Amino acid sequence: MPDELLYNRQRELQLSVPKAITVVGCGGIGSWVAILSAMSGVNTIYLFDPDVMEEHNRNRLPFCQGGLNKPKVNVVKDYILNIRPEATVVAVQEKLEGVLLKLQLTVSDYIVDCTDSPKAQFSIYNECKKYGVRYIRAGYDGTHITVTSAVSGWIKTDVVEETYQTRPSWVVPAVTVAAIAVGKMEKYQTQETSLDISEIGIPVLQRNKGLTSRCAPRVNARR
C-alpha cells in the first residue's frame, strides 16, 4: 500500500505481507481475518461466502445493523474499504469449489480457510497442496482455538449431508484465532496453535495463607 506513514511503525518487524489472499468463510473468524489482513497491509483480498449477515453474527463482528440480510462478503468488503480505501477487495457470494477454487489458486499467495465444513476444508487443502499454494486453517470450538497449515487426516468427509451446528460463541475466541492466523501468515509461518484461550498467559497464584511477617501489622511489645 502506498501510504508510508500508515505502516511506518510495523516496518522494522519485517513482516512477510502477502500481496493477495483468499478468505473462505466470512463469519466470526473470516471477517476478522480479512479486516486484520487489510489493516496489516495486504493489498488484494478475495472473499468467499454464500450466506447473508444475520443478527446472531453481530455478537462477534463490528458491523452495523444496516448490514443485516445482506451478503456477508459485501458487508465485509464495505467495512474494509471504509478503513483501507486503497485496497482491492473482491466479494464473491459463492462457495469456493470447482472452477472458482482452481481460479483462486492462480491468484492467491494464501488461502485462509475459515469454513465449518470438513468436506470443504479437505477439498481446499488438497488442492492447495497439489498446486503449491500456502494454506491456513483457522477455527474454534467454544473457547478452543486452532490454527494450522493442514487438515487432519482423521476428519470425516464421507458424510452425505453436512448440517450447521449452533455452538456457544463470542467475540474473544473469534478475534483471537483470527489474529493468530494473520500472525502466522505474516510473521510466524512455521508455527501452529491448538489451545484453549484459558491457557493463554500465566495464571495468577493466589495465596490462601495469612499475611507474611513483613506485611503483618506491627504489634508494639511495650505496653
Residue 41 has pLDDT above 60, yes or no: yes
Alpha carbon distance 127, 215 (integer Å): 64
Whether residue 210 has pLDDT greater than 70: no
Distance CA 35, CA 103 (A): 23
Helix axes 30-39, 171-186, angle to 10 degrees: 50
Per-domain residue ranges of the chain: 8-199
pLDDT at 200: 82
Of the options 3.40.5.50, 3.40.50.1370, 3.30.450.40, 3.40.50.720, the CATH number for the domain spanning 8-199: 3.40.50.720
pLDDT digits (tens, 9 = 90+) for 72-113: 999 999 999 999 999 999 999 999 999 999 999 999 999 999
The pLDDT tens digits of the residues spanning 123-182 come to 999 999 999 999 999 999 999 999 999 997 655 555 545 555 667 889 999 999 999 999
Does this model's pTM top 0.75?
A: yes
> Considering the chain, what is the average pLDDT of its residues?
88
- pLDDT value at residue 202: 73
pLDDT of residue 1: 43
